[in-house]
Amino acid sequence: MINLKLILALSISIFFSSNTLAQFINLQIRVEPELSATVEQDLNFGQLVVNSGPSIIELGDINMGIFNIRSYYTQNVFVQLQVPDALTHINPAINDVIPLELGVAYNNSGTRNLDESIILSENFGFLPIYSATSTGYTTNTEIWQEMYLYVFGSIIIGNVNEGEYNGEVTLLIEYD
């Protein structure tokens, strides 16, 4: 018990003596995130009528979803669109479903040009945030670049109960 008290007294005296000789530096660092993602436009199928059949939003349609990914031009990202097979009624007692199929395309040329977009097979891929254009331009003076993702697809409205249907669609973006 006596040894413990001596150790505490010694550590307290060291703490006080080091405090009187301390120097303080106020250092502020601003660190920008390596990746940002914003929704530029929501995917919008609108209000649909029972038994109306397929509703399709093509790549390039005005109602497709558009996402902007901003990162260092040398960054690579893993993109994955996770889509449920169907939308379900918000009332759990109603078992009706609306089949859902979605796809995603990307454009990593640094411009929001849909004509340069490439569809991701299987809705995922490991992509460079920026790819030099075909003109042979290989150096880049811009540190930050943008990639655009376009979400499109279809739903089929059959003989289902009226009401609100939902499902969770996740666009996963990870950087290395």
What is the structure's pLDDT at 143?
86
pLDDT along the chain (176 residues), means of 10: 36 41 59 78 90 94 94 91 94 94 94 92 94 55 88 95 91 86
Domain boundaries, the chain: 35-175
Residue 111's closest CA among 138, 139, 130, 124?
130
170 bridge partner residues: 82
| 51: DSSP letter | T
Strand ranges for 7-164 from DSSP E: 35-41, 53-57, 65-72, 76-82, 86-89, 97-107, 118-119, 124-128, 144-157
Q: What topology is assigned to 35-175 in CATH?
A: Immunoglobulin-like (2.60.40)
Residue 147: name the closest of 176, 109, 174 by CA: 109
Question: With contact defined as beta carbons under 8 Å apart, do 173 and 108 qualify?
Answer: no
Burial class for 104, CB neighbours closer than 10 Å (0-12, 13-18, 19+) = buried
How high is the pLDDT of residue 136?
Answer: 45
Cβ distance 49 to 27 under 8 Å?
no
Dist CA 106 CA 69 (whole Å): 10
